């Protein structure tokens, strides 16, 4: 086993954006209004949400624009999720006034600027915003950007599925996403007490998959790459199940029969409840 390396995604922003523009330019008027797995959101709403992410990054991270203070103030993780949900809903509602060509023009203009900002950022510097779903209070830019990459990737995937377009699920696209999603596990298992050295193994099958081991240290769980000789429990699932589950596309109840559990099933419970998005 080895400690997972830094997840580099800066080189993926520009080609992922190019794939998005090609996809959106191919859509019919009917496609733009097709429902997606995001309840209440059509394809056009997902596109608007991606644009919101672009604009927030450029304004807040690149240009250091101060956001208005949250109202009410954020006092907990639940408050943060509610605040972000309100921001997202407000933006999508406003963007329903915009035509698809206008949305595409805005995305075409802002996407390359986002890619440039990511490429030129100090990968090891503290990020403005921590990756809260991983339990971090301070994150490095590389991890924040990897999280942001998964956001753009899985929302584009939702559009692709809604309109029947081929998914971006090769190792090139999804591999870094799964590497990022797996960083939620130490936080997901934080309340599980075991002896140091005991472990839980997760095996994700498919081109983008791999094997990860969650190993108990003195006071916390540590994520490792590679298999464990005698894990307490081994979870085996395919890459499609993995990304959908981490992004709330499959509920904890519905994911259970899709994961093979070898060993004590009690140690699978935190995995079922884990989410690598804010929600």
Query: What's the average model confidence in pLDDT over 200-207?
Result: 98
Shared-domain flag, residues 113 and 217: no
Q: What is the pLDDT of residues 252-271, one digit of tens each?
A: 999 999 999 999 999 999 99
How far is it, in rounded angstroms, from Cα 7 to Cα 262?
Answer: 29
Among the candidates 144, 168, 192, a domain finishes at 168
- Work out the end-to-end distance of the chain between its first and last CA atoms, rounded to an integer number of angstroms: 31
Shared-domain flag, residues 86 and 129: yes
Shared-domain flag, residues 159 and 211: no
Domain boundaries, position 220? 184-273
| 87 against 114, higher pLDDT | 114
Shared-domain flag, residues 152 and 228: no
> What CATH number should be reported for the domain holding residue 154?
1.20.120.450
Query: What's the average model confidence in pLDDT over 214-221?
Result: 95
Residue 123 pLDDT more than 90? yes
Structure tokens, 81: 């999720």
Which helix (H) or strand (E) element contains residue 92? helix 77-95
52 and 59 in contact (C-beta within 8 Å)?
Answer: no
CA atoms within 13 A on the CB side of 176: 25
Query: What's the average model confidence in pLDDT over 108-114?
Result: 98
Shared-domain flag, residues 63 and 189: no
Determine, yes or no, domain membership for 60.
Answer: yes
Determine, yes or no, domain membership for 173.
Answer: no
Determine, yes or no, domain membership for 177.
Answer: no
Q: Mean pLDDT, the chain, as a whole number?
A: 95
- Residue 262 forms beta bridges with which residues? 234
Residue 279 pLDDT more than 70? no
What pLDDT does residue 96 have?
A: 96
What pLDDT does residue 201 have?
A: 98
Residue 149 has a CB neighbour count (10 Å cut-off) of 22
217 and 248 in contact (C-beta within 8 Å)?
Answer: no
What pLDDT does residue 78 have?
A: 87
How far is it, in rounded angstroms, from Cα 190 to Cα 269?
Answer: 12
Among the candidates 141, 168, 195, a domain finishes at 168
Among the candidates 109, 137, 168, a domain finishes at 168
Query: What's the average model confidence in pLDDT over 202-212?
Result: 98
Query: Tokens 């081109």 label which residue?
Result: 207
- Please give the C-alpha separations between residue 273 and each of 133, 165, 251, in angstroms, as whole numbers: 12, 29, 8
Nearest to 130 by CA among 113, 109, 115, 145: 145
Shared-domain flag, residues 156 and 107: yes
Structure tokens, 150: 């998964």
Burial class of residue 54 in the structure, from the number of CB atoms within 10 Å of its CB (0-12 exposed, 13-18 middle, 19+ buried): buried
> What CATH number should be reported for the domain holding residue 222?
3.30.1050.10
Task: Quickly list H helices, 121-227.
Answer: 141-163, 171-181, 185-188
Shared-domain flag, residues 67 and 188: no
Residue 222 pLDDT more than 90? yes
Structural domains of the chain, count: 2
Shared-domain flag, residues 247 and 134: no
Nearest to 204 by CA among 254, 246, 265: 246
Q: What is the pLDDT of residues 133-183, one digit of tens each?
A: 999 999 999 999 999 999 999 999 999 999 999 999 999 999 999 999 999
- pLDDT cut 90: percent of the chain above it: 89
Residue 69 DSSP one-character state: P
Determine, yes or no, domain membership for 279.
Answer: no
């Amino acid at each position: 086993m080895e400690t997972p390396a830094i997840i580099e995604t800066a080189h993926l922003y520009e080609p992922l954006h190019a794939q998005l523009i090609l996809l959106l330019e191919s859509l019919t008027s009917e496609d733009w209004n097709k429902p997606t797995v995001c309840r209440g959101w059509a394809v056009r709403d997902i596109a608007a949400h991606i644009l919101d992410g672009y604009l927030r990054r450029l304004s807040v991270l690149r240009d250091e624009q101060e956001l208005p203070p949250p109202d009410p103030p954020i006092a907990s993780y639940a408050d943060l999720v509610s605040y972000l949900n309100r921001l997202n809903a407000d933006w999508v509602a406003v963007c329903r006034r915009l035509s698809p060509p206008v949305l595409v023009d805005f995305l075409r203009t802002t996407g390359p600027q986002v890619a440039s900002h990511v490429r030129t950022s100090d990968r090891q510097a503290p990020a403005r915003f921590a990756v809260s779903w991983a339990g971090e209070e301070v994150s490095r830019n590389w991890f924040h950007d990897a999280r942001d990459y998964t956001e753009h990737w899985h929302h584009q995937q939702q559009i692709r599925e809604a309109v029947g377009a081929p998914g971006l699920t090769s190792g090139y696209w999804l591999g870094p996403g799964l590497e990022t999603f797996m960083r939620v596990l130490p936080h997901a298992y934080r309340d599980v007490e075991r002896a140091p050295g005991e472990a839980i193994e997760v095996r994700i099958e498919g081109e983008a998959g791999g094997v990860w081991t969650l190993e108990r240290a003195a006071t916390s769980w540590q994520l490792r790459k590679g298999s464990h000789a005698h894990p307490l429990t081994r979870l085996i699932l395919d890459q499609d199940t993995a990304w959908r589950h981490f992004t709330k596309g499959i509920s904890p109840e519905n994911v259970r029969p899709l994961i093979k559990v070898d060993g004590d099933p009690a140690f699978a419970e935190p995995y079922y409840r884990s989410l690598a998005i804010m929600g």
